[in-house]
Amino acid sequence: MTMPTNLPIMPFIIVVLLLLPIRLAAGQMKGLAFALWLIGGLILTIRGISFLLDAPEHPGVAMLALIIAVAMAIGYGKGKFVLSKTSQRNLERIDQFTEPKKPIQVYSVRSWIIIGLMVGISVTLSVLNTPLLWRGGINLAIGFALIISSLAYLKSMKPVTAS
């Protein structure tokens, strides 16, 4: 189950968000922030598991389960205690919006830089031909952290009620 290691999709998403000729209200921005964070997390999680399963230095089922458990524990901690704070700060920023904004403003410049650094780490691991077990564990941890921290966006969205 080899996944292609093509160019990262994130730069293309940024260009699309930059060029979209629409404006979004705060609630829509929260939904977009959640979707992007969750989808990024899912992609990295799937990619990480794929790398782990395809590793030529396959360590055996028990060791593979341990690597997955450790990566997910690290990802959970990073998502719950670090990235959730980033998500919360972004939610507070979005709540300050008084008028609809361009989709690219879904995250602050600081958050876009952090996203760029995470993409850069992934690209660097590929360029340096890092063993798949390491790449898989790192991608799984980062992906799971994004999934966990995306829940802050989900919790912030108010359910739609019928009038």
Q: CA 31, CA 80: separation in Å to the nearest integer? A: 19
Per-residue pLDDT for 105 more than 70? yes
DSSP assigned state of 83: I
Q: CA 39, CA 69: separation in Å to the nearest integer? A: 21
Between CA 8 and CA 17, with CA 14 as vertex, the angle to 5 degrees is: 140
Q: CA 104, CA 15: separation in Å to the nearest integer? A: 8
Per-residue pLDDT for 10 more than 70? yes
Residues with Cβ < 8 Å from 134, sequence gap 6 or more?
Answer: 125
pLDDT tens-digit map of 134-151: 999 999 999 999 999 999
pLDDT tens-digit map of 23-77: 999 999 999 999 999 998 998 999 999 999 998 877 788 989 999 999 999 999 9
Question: Are 30 and 153 a contacting pair, CB within 8 Å?
Answer: yes
pTM of the model: 0.85
Instruction: Give residue 15's pLDDT.
Output: 87
